[in-house]
Chain A
């Protein structure tokens, strides 16, 4: 596997250049910002399509709460623009500082801790432009937040790793950003205690903007983030404190940097592989039993998402996940395929692939 064949890397700046490349190349691999290296590393016979020049905002009407940007636009740039208008992307894309692009976030399907409140990237992507495996430039979805016309290509592209089409433009719905946040850190003696808190919080009446838990010095720690009007936050945090037995409170800058660090994965051991594992709260205990050899990990989204730092051979994790009927996506590390455990596939996906990339130029999905 090669990481940067400069002679075989294209840097298109327009959609029609991409069309031309797709039509004339037998095997292609797409890269955005390279923030998830296991996804942007092509195989030996693949040419690399680097979309970093497909960068720029196309449309943003703050009053509409939607924006359209080219797929190679860095997430961080858009976050800054939205913040000026008091808006944000509720799916909380991770790795913004590492150079994640909008297209890459969609293709990898990576949402962050904040997605627990309103939904993930799939729930906020409303329109796309893409070049399919036949070199056709197509529009999927639209620019309005309610749209039931035609097949929902935007959703299909989430998690597709660029193998169903090359995204050139994406349209997202955004929300007003909560003006203030605070986080309660609940130290627990063990996993059952932590899961008890997570279960009751998932069913509670609190409007929760973050619900993460991880092994810590005391055993396990659960972090609960609330967001909203500053005037109501103290009272809400007090109630949360009372109902959970309390803990330390992070507010203002301390709260902000805590969750920013989570999105940077700075808790990850330096040379560990980074793997995304969708899970459910009820499966955590069973999975944990097999993870004793994993170095670092963090559960997010109320126990629906595991970010795993894996230091042993990836093949072992592949087998472990498969045994649990779980899937994993390798973001950093090396393996033959970034798909671990239960692979995506099946008759429906095969027929979808045949319609979008009949010659399998974009990958062997």
Chain B
């Protein structure tokens, strides 16, 4: 594949400062947050308009060169990793909020808009954009759409897919289609819902209509320390069985707690084997009544310490450690793999016990941070890449954890997506007939398999 004629044609559309081909420039884009994987594109284009995106995709199609659309490159599954000798369509300059209508409760945005920027723009109207991945100060809506990003607060109101009402999409052959609209309801197959989470395989969303919600009137947050993971897990079961619907429920294990202290000075109880954060959100009077109920339930769960946030500052401090856990863990070891498996919530205890066993078997430390309310685990596998074979051993352990999630009836990914990282495991979670259908679907939408080639699905035959 010789991308040079393509680069020549692209230079007819993009000025030199928005068509990067120098090795040093390409190197800056060679990886995303899954740093173990690197690849050099043939060229990076930086469009400023949807017309430029459409033109770039059409040219890639004409020349049969694969492309990846990229936001801020925060993907933890290698979703925005360049394709070797392919094109990267970098969308950070398409960062305008085109329309914000507080009465219709929608925001229409370009794909390069930062997730948090939507809530910031909506705040003066008493509204916010609910999906809150931990990287939300950096990640873009376009990336959130491609990977159906979640976050700690998706227990109650869902993930990106539940907040996207409509999109304008350019398909991988350059055809432009509209999906959905501005209403919460629809008629006809939910093609927009099908597009969200398709990991760039179905094309590039150039305009996205998001739904906004009223900012919760009150948050009530409690942090509880336990002397075992089991006890923390049982507390979650008790909360769930009581009929309460928290906005978030998070657990961190001993190693993650230590990391949060070393990395973010979170001030968590250092002697705890597990920490549970439960947060209620909503209409004040309702939340205060529910919170009283919650504290009664937690009273019976054997917590060794309970801290109740009395104001916004204390709430922020409780969340600080959890939100920086991934990067904080980076202080405990030179390298780590962060995973994203899901098990049925009632199997969490079993899954954690198994992960503990695997950790001992491999003599590799694993810190656990997870969305206890929905069974979404984030084991952080620590290793030193300078040690011969350490990465391979860590990946083997990661693979066993994925197999465990499948065996327990869960999923190989709750929110980070398959990307490059878990391609080999998708056929373990789905059978040959399902894989054949997904490949057929992909080829029907994108006959030349150019849209983010190599992500989610292995490309048959090609490298």
Contact = CB atoms under 8 A, between A and B. Distances in A.
Given A156-B191, A207-B283, A344-B187, A144 B375 contact: yes
A56 interface: no
The interface centre, meaning the residue of B187, B445, B456 with most chain A CB atoms within 10 A of its CB, is B187
Contacts of B78: none
Interface string A268-293: 00000000111111100000000000
B184 A136 contact: no
Nearest to B185: A278
B183 A304 contact: yes
A149 interface: yes
B184 A304 contact: yes
A253 to B, nearest CB: 21
Interface in A333-351: 339, 343-344, 346-349, 351
Interface in B132-187: 147-148, 150, 154, 156-159, 161-162, 169, 171, 175, 177-179, 181-187
A315 to B, nearest CB: 17
Interface residue tally on B, bucketed by range: 35 or more
Contacts of B196: 152, 155
A38 B171 CA distance: 33
Interface string B277-299: 00000111110111001000000
A124 B371 CA distance: 18
A171 to B, nearest CB: 11
Q: Which 9 A-B pairs have the closest CB atoms?
A: A344-B188, A155-B193, A146-B414, A232-B289, A205-B217, A278-B185, A355-B444, A176-B243, A278-B183
A155 B411 contact: no
B253 interface: no
Contact of B189 (A111, A158, A305): A158
B202 A348 contact: yes
A147 B426 contact: no
Nearest to A140: B434
Contact of A206 (B104, B161, B283, B413): B283
A346 B265 CA distance: 53
Contacts of B293: 229
18 contacts: A118-B156, A119-B162, A142-B411, A142-B429, A148-B411, A203-B214, A205-B217, A229-B293, A232-B286, A327-B188, A339-B187, A343-B188, A344-B188, A344-B191, A347-B177, A348-B202, A352-B441, A356-B441
A234 B282 CA distance: 17
Interface string A110-152: 0100011011101100000000100011111011111111111
Contact of B286 (A229, A278, A352): A229
Contacts of A329: 187
A122 B195 CA distance: 14
Nearest to B290: A229
A146 B374 contact: yes
Given A61-B346, A203-B105, A352-B194, A176 B245 contact: yes
Interface residues of A, number: 85
B459 to A, nearest CB: 16
Given A149-B426, A199-B103, A229-B286, A144 B190 contact: no
B342 A147 contact: yes
A346 to B, nearest CB: 5
A328 B187 contact: yes
Interface string A153-175: 10111111001100000000001
Contacts of A354: 444
Interface of B: 101-105, 125-127, 147-148, 150, 154, 156-159, 161-162, 169, 171, 175, 177-179, 181-191, 193-198, 202, 214, 216-217, 237, 240-241, 243-245, 282-286, 288-290, 293, 340, 342-346, 371, 374-376, 409-418, 422, 426, 429-431, 433-434, 436-438, 440-441, 443-445, 456
A156 B187 contact: no
B444 A351 contact: yes
Contacts of B188: 159-160, 327, 339, 343-344, 349
B302 to A, nearest CB: 19
Task: Name the residue among A86, A109, A175 with the largest chain B CB count within 10 angstroms.
Answer: A109
Nearest to B169: A348
B184 A120 contact: yes
